[in-house]
Structure 1
Amino acid sequence: MTSPTIDADLRVLPASHPLQAGRTSGSALVSTYQGVRGPVTPVWMMRQAGRSLPEYRALRVGTDMLDACLDPAMASEITLQPVRRHGVDAGIFFSDIVVPIKLAGVDVSIVAGRGPVLPHPVRTADDVRNLPELDESALSPISEAVALTVAALGQTPLIGFAGAPFTLAAYLVEGGPSKDHLAARTMMHSDPDTWQALMRWTATITGAFLRAQIIAGASAAQLFDSWAGALSLADYTAHVAPASALALSRVHGLQYTAPDASTRTVPMVHFGVGTGELLGAMHDVGADVMGVDWRIPLDEASRRLGGTVPLQGNIDPAFLRAPWSVLEAHVLDVLARGKAAPSHVLNLGHGVPPDADPDVLSRVVRFVHDVAGEGHAAAGAAAGGSAPAFAGPVA
């Protein structure tokens, strides 16, 4: 399959794009992201693709994580697995936060049990100056994987994935995962010029990474700032928000014509872990939807955002191993609190744990679709089921 060319000047999505062609523009997910509350709350789960699924573990035998991300057929198949199994309302593109760093030419590997490791941390102005420029032709495996996936998904939308500039910068400076990101925060304050140059670099590559996915067929995108919860509001606003805004500027304004003949843009979700105090600032960088982790209730998150922003979240992953009656009550509480927002996509407040029972995840999706959705059970039965349209595996 030929992958779409990345056009830096493109503003209108290609006619074949699922949004432009009308395959996903009226989907529950896209409509909800645009602030329209439907009869059923759409649901997908962060990290739904991957480690919790036995079919993923079987497919990955003998294949390095980053190699899997850069093999178009494998990345596509992994993205499709949870859509088949769980009947979720969207696929989330299978990748890793450090993939654009790898594609730019930086030495990085993913070590089992630890995560991304960079043998040569970026600590000085010279280190930043020596970072390679991303040749956007290197993104072709990403475009190809997305194109394969959307061809198989049919009317089910695909969500693009990228790490936010601060999270990428934290990995580069720390040389790997960190609990407090002290080295990154030290550079931020002790050498602000070098920090700003590093943030411009990470914003440039992650913006290009997101744009490639959208042009290739993703119907929405989510920017993950996994480590932003380590920052104060003042530090985020002064030293991080401008770079996140720069990254999202690469995808703002990508237009399509909706079924009602209005001109719409591709919706952007912004999510961070432990970022309840940053919600307003994170929204202000150019997000349409805010993801919320499990630490604050959705009604409080909506209040902090002025009651005007669509929300995504926020089942506590710890409840996935609780008795069903406890999990069911928690899901109903999350759905009820989500009504404080203009619209709400149900998700976890963080990723699916590795030891999560896939049958429990499927049961949550069925419950939301068939029980929690007002009037949906009867309508779904009359229509012969409520699972989203899905064209099957990639050939």
Structure 2
Amino acid sequence: MNTAYLDMIQGNNPGVTPVWYMRQAGRSQAAYRKIKEKYTLFEITKQPELCAQVTELPVKEYGVDAAILYKDIMSPMVAIGVNVDIKPGVGPVFDTPIRRMGDIERLHQFDPTKVDYIAKTIELLTEEVLDVPLIGFCGAPFTIASYLIEGGPTKSYNKTRGMLISEPDIWNGLMEKLADMSIDYLAMQANAGANALQIFDSWVGAVNSAEYEQAIFPHMKRIISTIKTRFPNLPLAMNGVGTDHLVHIWAKLPLDIIALDWRSSIGEAKDRGVTQTVQGNLDPAYLYADTKTIAKAVDEILLDGVRHGKHVFNLGHGVFPEADPAKLHWLTDYVHEKSRELWARESH
């Protein structure tokens, strides 16, 4: 197995910067688009062999050093009794948004049998298919809550932040339920054989640092501490967007990897308390540019990563549908080639 990703996180420098991309499976890939002509996202995830095929696509096409399980952050909702529909061009939509304590009390305890196909896909990938580590993941309570409270995607998060501020009892009740789900769901993936785990708090950048510390941090600390106690050797990452003001808080958590988007500086990470492996952080917009322009930006990121000491290359957010697969293949090769030069120079 190619262990560069795990080696880097564990402090065993592989002499190359490992790379994978958020949303690397699907969207921009021709083979995936063909599959999507016949199946929805949820239909793919319910078929372990097909889901394993989609998960492996970017490993074969781009040569990345890790695979991330193909699924959605909403995939576990059925296991707590919540029906969700993913509408094309819109995103996750809920018929009955959460507004009061009674809505929260109706949420079930996580039932792994409702999503056993996810565990079966992980087993298939790790035992038979992949020659790189597999990353399992969950959505963080705030991000999941934003969909549940708003009833679907939003750009303002007004109802979500409104509940956090004005209804702290209801807010904490929901956070506790979703934290329980996150723990059970991550544990299920770890037990099935995932080689690493990642928590996506995609929209938590909508809150300020004081609100985060008071209303979100305690729940995140419980999730992360519980998972690290149960699976001490399993790398655990945190990822968000627009979260530069939260990086110093994440640095206090028992995480192994902190993902930085393009608005955060890898070079300043240590000054902000980050001793963990950093992940990131090329702006996805660079995928529109020519390779010379991309290379210049990548060189700076890789140099900052080498100076930090532990770095996994990624985008600052996900691969978008218009991205050219050939360019991602080139980018992967370039990161490997350039980073080998930088790490070799650093060791002399």
Same-fold call, TM > 0.5?
yes
Q: Give, in angstroms, the shift of residue 172 of structure 1.
A: 0.6
Please list, as runs of the form range in 1=range in 2, the aligned pairs for 1:175-186 lying within 5 A after superposition: 175-186=151-162
Please list, as runs of the form range in 1=range in 2, the aligned pairs for 1:27-176 lying within 5 A after superposition: 27-176=3-152
1:156-201 deviations in Å (ceiling 9; x for gaps): 1001111111101111101111112110111111111111010011
Higher relative contact order (CA 8 A, sep 6+): 1
Q: How many residues align?
A: 344
Structure 1 residue aligned with 2:223: 247
Alignment RMSD (CA, Å): 1.8
1:187-242 deviations in Å (ceiling 9; x for gaps): 11111111101001111112222111111111111100001100100111110112
In the alignment, residue 289 of structure 1 is paired with which amino acid? I
Q: Give, in angstroms, the shift of residue 104 of structure 1.
A: 2.0
Pick closer, same or farther for the CA change 1:70–1:302 going to 2, 3 Å: farther
Q: 1:358 aligns with which of 306, 313, 325?
A: 325
Please list, as runs of the form range in 1=range in 2, the aligned pairs for 1:266-277 lying within 5 A after superposition: 266-277=234-245
In the alignment, residue 240 of structure 2 is paired with which amino acid? G
* Contact 2:259 2:278 survives alignment (8 Å): yes
* Contact 2:65 2:132 survives alignment (8 Å): yes
SS of match in other structure, 2:108: coil
Q: 1:228 aligns with which of 187, 204, 227?
A: 204
* Contact 1:72 1:142 survives alignment (8 Å): yes
1:298 corresponds to 2:266: yes
Mapped partners of 1:146, 1:233: distance in 2: 35
1:219-273 deviations in Å (ceiling 9; x for gaps): 1111000011001001111101122222224421345xxxxxxxx6101010110
In the alignment, residue 294 of structure 1 is paired with which amino acid? W
**Percent of aligned pairs sharing the same letter:** 38
* Contact 1:208 1:250 survives alignment (8 Å): no
Mapped partners of 1:305, 1:375: distance in 2: 24
Mapped partners of 2:10, 2:271: distance in 1: 19
Structure 2: 5+ residue stretches without partners: none
Structure 1: 5+ residue stretches without partners: 1-22, 256-263, 378-395
In the alignment, residue 304 of structure 2 is paired with which amino acid? R
SS of match in other structure, 2:5: helix
1:108-151 deviations in Å (ceiling 9; x for gaps): 11000010001110011111111222222223111101011112
* Contact 2:79 2:108 survives alignment (8 Å): no
Mapped partners of 1:32, 1:193: distance in 2: 41
Which region of structure 1 is more displaced relative to structure 2, 246-255 or 108-117? 246-255
Q: 2:277 aligns with which of 291, 310, 320?
A: 310
TM-score by length of 1: 0.83
In the alignment, residue 252 of structure 2 is paired with which amino acid? D
Richer in helix (by share): 2
* Contact 2:122 2:193 survives alignment (8 Å): yes
Mapped partners of 1:186, 1:62: distance in 2: 40
Mapped partners of 1:242, 1:69: distance in 2: 32
Q: 1:287 aligns with which of 255, 267, 272?
A: 255
Mapped partners of 1:184, 1:248: distance in 2: 23
Q: Give, in angstroms, the shift of residue 310 of structure 1.
A: 1.2
* Contact 1:254 1:265 survives alignment (8 Å): no
* Contact 2:257 2:279 survives alignment (8 Å): yes
SS of match in other structure, 2:43: helix
Pick closer, same or farther for the CA change 1:192–1:115 going to 2, 3 Å: same
SS of match in other structure, 1:51: coil
Mapped partners of 2:342, 2:296: distance in 1: 19
Mapped partners of 1:207, 1:57: distance in 2: 33
Runs (4 or more) in structure 1 with deviation over 6 Å come to none
1:52-90 deviations in Å (ceiling 9; x for gaps): 111111112231222222322222111000001111000
TM-score by length of 2: 0.94
SS of match in other structure, 1:373: helix
